[in-house]
Structure formats: structure tokens, C-alpha cells
Amino acid sequence: MSTSPEIHVVRPIEASDLEGFFALAEISGPGFTSLQADRKYLSEYIQASGESFANPDVNLAQKFLLVMEEVSSGKIIGCAAVKTKIGTQTPFVDLVMKDGRGEPVNDERQAVYLDPASTFDGATEVGSLFMHPDHRKGGLGRYLAKSRYLLIGTSPEVFSSPIIAELRGMQDVDGKSPFYTHQHRDRLQKTFEEADEFITNADTEAWKSVVPTSPIVVENLPPQVRDCIGQPHRSGVGAYHLLRKEGFVKTGVVDLFDAGPILMSDFENISTIRESVDCRLNIKGQVQSSDTVMIGVDSLSNFRAVIGSFESESERVSVTAEAAIALNVQDDSQVKSWTAKQNFDGSSSKTKRVSDSKKAEELQ
């Protein structure tokens, strides 16, 4: 029981967050394409996100970048993002695992070759998930990841299915990608980091110099390189399992550079969206609860989510004034809530849904 629990807010990033965002990028390490430790790149990312939240458009490729802030200190301790219409503005090329007959396979042990393709053009991607190492205890990273799904749930027409997640691939003890080193380094004459930065800003013509001109034969790869195919970086194993629990499935598609896994779901199968509950906000002087609850504003342009120990009932959730201020809402406002300890039967959830199962099945 706690009367003054620590509260964390997940909110759209702002220009004033640049230094905190840069600090996260500096410690994220190589292979994190969307978190390059470059202030110009990060500043442009922040600007693009601000424009997306201000003017969400179902026809445009947009970026919605969130940060997690420790309310008591104001410190930025994590980030996450959702990108729409990937591959439509800049190329998104991956590698499809195929058997000897040219049929896609989901099991890397059955892969005979890897075929370059643009499998997910037009899809929504969740990514840029990173928590500061000092704040990873207590499951905050899980709630940061789930906040993206509350965001998606606000506007299913903007965040089209399928929804994919691309995980950083395996690295050796020196922090190098065996797959990239063997397959790309000599051909591109770039380090992984240089190539990563290059493709971030590359147009269609530049991408032609990056993509292999023929399929990659798996049996020709050294054992340590084959072992990388479809496997997440050691730091991403937890994220991989969270994605599977959330409703994402293996696709048989891997990253072009490091062969990390790409997972996929659709709107209907994401558990946070399915289990989130519509309720009214009740502001109290003190809240007596041991349950961690995530509460989100059900509006894309005004999205915020708070994580803390709140009193959650079937149609009402009670929070402190501090939490309400962090959410930027008034008493009796309509919100979404999600808690791991709640028993959901679906009857109280009025979550908006769209169905695109056929397309998801075709890509599996």
C-alpha cells in the first residue's frame, strides 16, 4: 500500500526534450537505427513527430515519438515510437526466409536462402523502444512498450495493419554484427554504424547500392553467421517475449543488415488494445492501492499515459491530482485503463476495432 507512489508519464516528445533524448541515444549502442547519437538527426525526428501529432493523416508516412518522464524529477528515462506507412516514403527492404522451392518459411532452420523484398510496405511499425538502464527494474519498460498500443488504439484508421516490430539482431562479444560483417561490410566499404546512418537518409537510388542483387544462400554462410538469422540481440530477448505475449507472431522475415527478427500482429490481436477498458477519471487527495495501472487519454493529438499505483474499478479509476495534471485532463474525463491484475471478459471494453486479418494472414 502506498499513498505517494512514483508516477511516470508517457507523452509526445517536445523540442525541449532534445538533450534528454540525446542522452538515451548515446547509451543505446550500435544497431539502433532510429536512435542515432546525432543532435541534428534527433532534432529532425522530434520535429517530424510534432507535425504528426498536430496533423495525423491516414495517407502520409508519419512518426509518433513518445518519451517516458519521471514526474518527480522531470527526467526523460525512456522512449518509444510508432511509424505509419513504412516503405512508402523511403524504402523498407528486408530478407524473406525461403525453402528450396521458393516458398516462405517461418523457421530459420528450414531456410535455404534469404530473398530481398519489401514485404511490409504500407504497414505500421512499433519501434525505438529504449529504457535507461537505471530504470529498467519494476517493469517500466513493459508499460512503455504498451503505451504504444494505447496510442494505436486511439485511431485505428491512422495505424493500418499489419503492425510490425523489428528487433536488433545478434552481435558478437566485440559488439559487431556477424551477419553484417560477413555479408555487407566489404561490399559497402562501411562499418555497420556508417551503413546504418547511410540508409536512414538514403533515397531509392542509394538503396540500390545496399540491397543484394541476388538471394543469399544460407548454407554458404559460416556457422556463426547462420546462427544470427532470426535471433534478437541479447538485450532484446525480453522485448521479444513481451511482443509474443502481446500477440505478435514470427514472420519468417528478417532485417537486411543484421538478420534480426521482424514480428507482426494486427489491431484485433494486440492484447493491450483488446483488454483496455473505458472508464471515468476520479481525482482524489490520496489513493490507496498496490496495483500498478496504466491510464491513457483516448485521443491521438492529445495522447498521454500515466503509470502508477491507482485505484481501478470496472468503470472508474481514481488518481491523485499530480497524475491528472500529468495526463492534462479534468475530473470525470473519459480515459482508457489497463492493469495486469484485472480480469477482463471483454464486456466492459468499448475499444474501437478494425479488421485486417486477411492481410496479416497473407504475410505470415
pLDDT value of residue 4: 53
End-to-end CA, the chain? 45
Least confident of 169-183, 216-230, 332-346: 332-346
249-262: burial string, b at 16+ Cβ within 10 Å, e else: bbbbbbbbbbbbbb
pLDDT value of residue 345: 39
| From the candidate CATH numbers 3.40.50.150, 3.40.630.30, 1.10.1660.10, 3.60.20.40, the one assigned to the domain spanning 8-271 | 3.40.630.30
Least confident of 67-76, 78-87, 226-235, 342-351: 342-351
Pairing state of beta strands 63-70 and 113-117?
unpaired
Q: At what angle do helices 237-246 and 140-154 cross, to 10 degrees?
A: 40
Nearest alpha carbon to residue 271 among 123, 166, 163, 138: 163
Distance CA(148)–CA(129), nearest Å, equals: 10
- High-pLDDT (> 70) share of the chain, %: 91
Nearest alpha carbon to residue 91 among 111, 117, 70, 66: 117
pLDDT, mean of residues 250-265: 96
pLDDT value of residue 265: 97
pLDDT digits (tens, 9 = 90+) for 48-105: 999 999 999 999 999 999 999 999 999 999 999 999 999 998 889 999 999 999 999 9
Least confident of 11-25, 37-51, 197-211, 220-234: 197-211
pLDDT, mean of residues 140-166: 95
Residue 286 has pLDDT above 90, yes or no: no
pLDDT, mean of residues 249-259: 95
pLDDT value of residue 30: 67
pLDDT, mean of residues 136-157: 93
Give the chain's mean pLDDT.
Answer: 88
Q: Is the alpha carbon torsion for 61, 241, 232, 253 positive or negative? A: negative
pLDDT value of residue 58: 94
Least confident of 166-180, 253-267, 284-298: 284-298
pLDDT value of residue 287: 82
